[in-house]
Amino acid sequence: MRFYDEIKKYPWESVRQEIENRSRIEVERALAASPLRLEDFTSFLSPSAEPYLEDMAQRAHRLTQQRFGRVIGLFAPLYLSNVCINSCVYCGFNAHNPAERLTLTVDQAAEEGKYLHDLGFRHLLLVSGEAPNTVTVEYLARVLERLRPLFSSISIEIYPMETADYQALIHHGVDGLVIYQETYDEKRYKEVHPGGKKRDYPWRLETPERGGQAGFRRIGIGALLGLNDWRTEGFFLALHARRLLRTFWKSHITISFPRLRPASGGYQAPAPVSDIHMVQLLTALRLFLPDAGLILSTRESPQLRDHMIPLGITSMSAGSRTEPGGYANATHAEAQFEIADDRSPQAVADIIRQKGYEPVWKDWDAAFLH
């Protein structure tokens, strides 16, 4: 069954009401359950779970250490282009925004990569606006030829592709795919994506499965928090991650927690998510999906990121720039959004150590396959 068909069994409003109606008794029952069922996870998302957040956090802390140890992976995004054919209302790359557009040359991309390599990064995330005729597979192959010797792991966060195109990129050295559904509510999805290929909800929803079929070692998903009710988004995000964990068990499945940030166009989040609710979502997901990687970006403040290190996070970005050429080329191109944590990668690594964890710049190498 296609995942698009599977989630039709869970009407958005029915799920939202079920979460809201969970009782404290059901939360206590979930805390005693092993293994957790989907209904237990639903209890952890509910308002009734908020008095139990400290207990959830302690359990999430212990479970993360059991599964992942005391390490936090570090990575950096490298933006290749802010050209985009979509009109996502929340994004600085919106095709209708009067923005300075730039696509890096292969030499510029190599300069950006060398800059990040010299900072210590060995895990790179290549990001671009969704412009298949600009950021082509051939262009990416040329960029990868220059970057692959510098990085042990390279992931992509670009436009959804066919399985064959993903296989071609794997051949050129990409080992990870990141793709956010933004919102799992199809009605809200259409509202915030009024134009462009991204408006095709099922096509985007099933992108991680095409990536799994292609053979990516790492597959990352997420919902853009602030577009809709976070509790209901969390339910569908967990449902999606569980399916991927079961179907593509050879791949490492990761979940990100991007919250809406200020960007060109001035879009205001219709459903803001508080810090405490971010913590509730993260700990609930850790308890339900103990083997999933949980990722936190520089969208969040230094204080929140530091606080969340022991609660289940396994990887963090650091020193990020969200415009093409933002590291070594000093361009004035439009950024995708404003970051909140502008500390240097070394400062973030120092904080991780102070928390009793080890920052890991390289956690995988292709040589492990031989």
Per the domain annotation, does 204 fall within a domain? yes
- pTM, two decimal places: 0.96
- Work out the angle at residue 218's Cα, subtended by the Cα atoms of residues 338 and 214, and round it to the nearest 5 degrees: 115
Nearest to 94 by CA among 223, 268, 331, 264: 264
Supply the Cα-derived Rg of the chain in whole angstroms. 20
Residue 288 lies in a domain: yes
What pLDDT was estimated at residue 284? 98
Domain range for 295 is: 3-365
- Partners of 252 in beta bridges: 218
Q: How far is CA 267 from CA 38, 133, 186, 228, 263, in A?
A: 33, 27, 19, 14, 7
370 part of a folded domain: no
pLDDT, position 368: 47
> Is 315 part of any domain?
yes
Q: What per-residue confidence (pLDDT) applies to 70? A: 96
Give me the residue label for tokens 């956690």: 363
Q: By C-alpha distance, which of 195, 251, 196 is closest to 221?
A: 251
How many folded domains does the chain comprise? Answer: 1
Residue ranges of the chain with per-residue pLDDT less than 50? 368, 370
Residue 309 structure tokens: 């290190």
Query: CATH number for the domain including 70?
Result: 3.20.20.70
Tell whether 351 is covered by a domain: yes
Phi, psi of 359 (to 5 degrees): -70, 130
Looking at residue 264, what is its pLDDT?
86
Q: Which of 271, 336, 339, 337 minimizes the C-alpha distance to 304? A: 339
Question: What b-and-e string marks burial along 41-55, b requiring 16 or more CB atoms within 10 Å of the CB?
Answer: bbbbbbebbeebbee
Give per-residue pLDDT as tens, 316-336: 999 999 999 999 987 789 999
Residues 118-170 have pLDDT tens digits of 999 999 999 999 999 999 999 999 999 999 999 999 999 999 999 999 999 99
